[in-house]
Amino acid sequence: MKPTTPLLKVDNLSIELPAGFDRKYAVENLSYTLEAGEILCVVGESGSGKSMTANAIMGLLPSYLKPSSGRILLNGRDLLVMSEQELARERGRTVSMIFQEPLSALNPLMTVGEQIAEVMLVHGEGDARSRDERVLELLDYVGLPDPASLRHSYPFRLSGGQRQRVMIAMALALEPAMLIADEPTTALDVTTQAQILELIRRIQRAKGMGVLFITHDFGVVADIADKVVVMEKGLIVEQGTADDVLNRPQHPYTRRLIAAVPHPDESATRAEAAGEPLLEVRNLQKTYRSGGGLFTRPRIVKAVDDVSFTLRRGETLGVVGESGSGKSTLGRCILKLTDVDGGEIRYRGKDLVPLSQAAFRPMRRHLQMVFQDPFASLNPRHTIGRILTDGPVANGVPMDEAQKKARDLLALVGLDPSAYDRYPHEFSGGQRQRVGIARALALDPELLVADESVSALDVSVQAQVLDLMQDLQKKLDIAVIFITHDLRVAAEVCDKIAVMYRGAIVEAGPPAEVFNAPRHAYTQKLIAAIPGRHWNPRAAVA
Amino acid sequence: MSFLRRYAQNVGALIGLAILVVVVLVALAAPVLYPVSPWQGVGEPLLGPFEDPAYPLGTDLLGRDIAAGIAYGARVSLLIGIISTAVAVVIGVALGALAGFYGGRVDDMLMRFTEFFQTIPAFAMAVVLVAIFSPNITSITLAIAVVSWPPVARLVRGEFLSLRSREFVQAAVVVGQTGPRIMATQILPNAISPIIVTASLMVATAILTESSLSFLGLGDRNMMSWGFMIGAARTMLREAWWLSVFPGVAILVTVLAINLIGEGLNDAMNPHLRGRKG
């Protein structure tokens, strides 16, 4: 067989960082190839430089980053020496790209049909009539309902998954030979993610495209990749076929990443928690009303609809659901961060619902929360010490005692004592989340609500924070309500799982039961959509 | 500190600061430079500028030294500008914070109250207030404060509204901090930059308002002021231009300087705009 030119060949590419960064190169000596009809996954954690090559191909690098050596060969022609006009011709025609956040990648003031047609217009493709026909054809092809009317919609009218389909339709408009997908499903719910992945795979097969797929999620890799490149700190640490990398990882970094992938441990049996219930929620109701003036009817959304559950000391309840399922509202109701419309929340037998904020305040110390966003949940103007002592001081603990406790807590969550006098911006996401956990523990709570507390973290950091939380829970015997969109994480850390759908708990039970024998149709759909469920990361690194 | 460095990169802001320092020094040194009261005639009437080296900016109809008037006028302008702004900021922050933090009915009531003040032309109200409470420095300062707090209240309300829903504020609620404490220690420090910037620009407006009041004869009779000087000179605009031009320039330069400082503060404190010129 005669050697053919690969679709994309990245050859010894290095991109230098300006002085003042923690490393010299954004990416260093990168080499890989992508053949037509192949899906290549570039995997790495945040800051690994996994998006750099894609941006270099599309000319999206910020002005201070310049490739300093190497070549990017597209069909044998070096993109790095092409003129801007030549590049502009290649983009969209030979290579196109879809992005993580489809809402910000679409123009909010143009209908989706116009935006797709514009791609063809700027490349001088066809006339108005043929472009119109092509738009309809594309919308239909990416599986959007009723293309004839949908083309006149504005992006804000579409759901996240539909917007991503529109982005894909735009990318396909000129039948490119190669598609770059930069975390295209990260912002989507798991069931939508499964559909989009399926769509990408279908298109790729039908058109014989080469797909460069950038992701942080090994589950997604297991689902779609033919070849995998693993990156760490700007270097390729391992590459090979999907089977080799996923099931026989060689490099310690890859092994560590794969070991950190959450996976339900089915063999583990948990002791049934016994004793008095700590928290009993009965028929909880919360309705959001919006809009609604004198003459218009308000929009009513049942965020929490007749939810009941019981939680004992030392027990972990996982509340799982997609965005808009009401899982976060449930957490906020329990902590009285929002009003409740009906039902009971009994903490040690005492109903919290009728209490005023002032009457509830002395009890707040028993019910604490770890927030989602480690960057927004710490006051940027306060030192870590101040953040940790605020709570105890507000609850009448003397200052010197609170300070001593704060220093102990820093050690407990694995932070350096010097953190005490520093500000949040000096810490990484994982470290900040540790501070958030320490803040919640500073009040010796009996119940902890963790709302998506690990979702914003890289997988290896996520594993560490989860370990820390489980460890502390065992040590301190606290009850935890673990709110997450990620069934894998919930199954790994929870004693019981409650699946929420449109405000109601549709299924509850021990993780093994929910996972292996889901009864409700929605749970079945949710479980079927988990990326990489046929792949067992535990076996790969055992 | 990086804030000072960012501020110093802005040439306009440095010039503004330099001018303001000079104005403040002149105001402080006025009694030393001109021991005689600025109301007292000291030389020949209607001396033009630079005719007599003792009175470089000339004298007015009654032989009063224009330079002395400007030096003493600086004290009044700065005093009224700063104190009225401080009062307005205190009122505005208090009402805006309550409205933004508690929302709901409290917000509705406070904002209707604010709108009541906003719908009345500010200067007309200041004139009425000063006229009712006999013109003196206290009534002028308070009148200016009363007409200038509503924009601060609206600004602070907006900041509090958006910060209130941030996670670190929710975290403070969860650990059991009380409302007033959360407002003072969690939210206010994060809302302070826009307040400082607005306040700096309000000082300039207050100086202008005071000058306008004095121009209309509603100034404090015991204190020389730039507005009064221009008002008194307006009948002689053609015969003795220097009587109104020099106080006018003093107002212009001071207000410009404060505006430059305000803009410099805004650029230095607002990270989103950082480097917009580079």
Q: Is B178 an interface residue toward A (CB < 8 Å)?
A: yes
CB-CB neighbors (< 8 A) of B171 in chain A? 369, 371, 377-378, 436, 439
Residue of A381, A395, A439 with shortest CB distance to B171? A439
- A376: chain B residues, CB-CB within 8 Å: 166-168
The SS3 of residue B30 is helix
Question: Which residue carries 């903490």 as its tokens?
Answer: A347
pLDDT at A269: 54
What's the DSSP call for residue B48? P
* pLDDT digits 0-9 by tens, B153-164: 999 999 999 999
Q: Quick check: A376 and B168 CB within 8 A? A: yes
| CA A47 – CA A310 distance, rounded (Å) | 41
Q: Is A338 on the interface with B (CB under 8 A)?
A: no
A452, HSE (Cβ side, Cα atoms, 13 Å): 17
Q: Are B225 and B76 in contact (CB under 8 A)?
A: yes
Q: Which two tokens stand for residue B67?
A: 């330079």
Please provide residue A429's backbone torsions phi and psi, each rounded to the nearest 5 degrees. Answer: -55, -45
Rounded Cα–Cα distance for residues A94 and A99 (Å) = 17
Q: What is B2-273's CATH topology?
A: MetI-like fold (1.10.3720)
> Going by C-beta distance under 8 Å and a sequence separation of 6 or more, which residues neighbour residue A355?
A336, A363
Interchain pair B174, A394: CB under 8 A = no
B166 interaction partners in chain A (CB closer than 8 Å): 376
pLDDT for the residue numbered A270: 59
Domains of chain A: 1-94+178-237 (3.40.50.300), 99-175 (no CATH), 277-374+446-541 (3.40.50.300)
What radius of gyration, in Å, describes the C-alpha atoms of chain B?
22
Residue numbers of chain B with a pLDDT score lower than 50: 274-278
Is the separation of the CB atoms in B268 and B6 below 8 Å?
Answer: yes
DSSP string, A315-367: -EEEEE--TTSSHHHHHHHHTTSS--SEEEEEETTEE-TT--HHHHGGGGGGE
* Mean pLDDT split into 10-residue runs, chain A, 542 residues: 74 84 83 91 86 82 83 86 84 86 83 90 86 91 87 87 89 89 86 89 90 90 92 90 90 89 65 76 88 70 90 91 88 91 91 91 92 88 92 92 93 89 87 91 92 84 86 87 89 89 91 88 90 81 74
**Three-state SS for A487?**
helix
Any chain A CB within 8 A of the CB of B176?
Answer: yes
Q: Give the chain A residue nearest B181 (alpha carbons).
A: A394
Q: Which residues pair with A73 in a beta bridge?
A: A9, A78
Rounded Cα–Cα distance for residues A101 and A163 (Å): 9
Say if the Cβ atoms of B174 and A368 lie within 8 Å: yes
User: What's the Cα-to-Cα distance from A139 to each of A91, A107, B204, rounded to whole Å?
Assistant: 21, 17, 58
Buried b (16+ CB within 10 A) or exposed e, A102-136: beebbeeeebbbebbbebbeeeebeeeeebeebbe
Distance (Å, whole) CA A86 – CA A79? 9
> How many residue pairs from chains A and B have C-beta atoms closer than 8 A?
63
**Cβ–Cβ below 8 Å for B190 and A373:** no
- Helix then strand then coil, in percent of chain B rounded to 5, is 75, 0, 25
Mutate to test the interface with A, among B106, B167, B183, B186 (most CBs of A within 10 A): B167
Question: Is residue B174 within 8 angstroms of chain A, CB to CB?
Answer: yes
DSSP conformation class of A479: E
Q: Are B208 and B251 in contact (CB under 8 A)?
A: yes
Interchain contact B62–A (C-beta under 8 A): no
Residue B181 sits at the chain A interface (C-beta within 8 Å):
yes
* A353 has a chain B CB within 8 A of its CB: no
Identify the three-state secondary structure at position A119: helix
Q: Compute CA distances A210 → A40, A41, A141, A178, A227, whole Å.
A: 8, 11, 18, 5, 11
Residue found by looking up tokens 């959304």 in the block: A301
The model's pLDDT over A367-389, given as tens digits with 9 standing for 90+, comes to 999 998 888 899 988 999 999 99
pLDDT computed for residue B278 by the predictor: 34
Interior/surface letters A342-355, b for 16+ CB within 10 angstroms, e for the rest: ebebbbeeeebbee
CB contact under 8 A, B190 and A362: no
Q: Measured between CB atoms, does B162 come within 8 Å of chain A? A: no
Are the CB atoms for A204 and A179 separated by under 8 Å?
Answer: yes
The DSSP result for A6-42, as a single string, is: PSEEEEEEEEEPPTTSSSSEEEEEEEEEE-TT-EEEE
Residues of B in contact with A436 (CB under 8 A): 171
Closest Cα in chain B to A371:
B167
A416-423 LR contacts (CB < 8 Å, sep 24+): A419/A384, A420/A383, A420/A384, A420/A385, A420/A388, A421/A383, A421/A384, A421/A385, A422/A383, A422/A384, A423/A380, A423/A381, A423/A382, A423/A383, A423/A384
Are B174 and A335 within 8 A, CB to CB?
yes
Residue of A nearest to B172 (CA): A391
Cα A235 from Cα B90, distance rounded (Å)? 56
**pLDDT per residue over A453-507, tens digit each?**
888 788 888 888 888 888 888 888 899 999 998 888 888 888 899 999 989 999 9
What phi and psi values does residue A58 have, to the nearest 5 degrees? Answer: -85, 0
Q: What is the structure's pLDDT at A272?
A: 61
Rounded distance between C-alpha atoms, residue A182 and residue A162, angstroms:
17
Residue B224: alpha-carbon gap to chain centroid = 18
Residue A32: which of A202, A219, A241 has the closest Cα?
A241
Compute the half-sphere exposure of residue B130: CA atoms within 13 Å on the CB side of its CA.
27
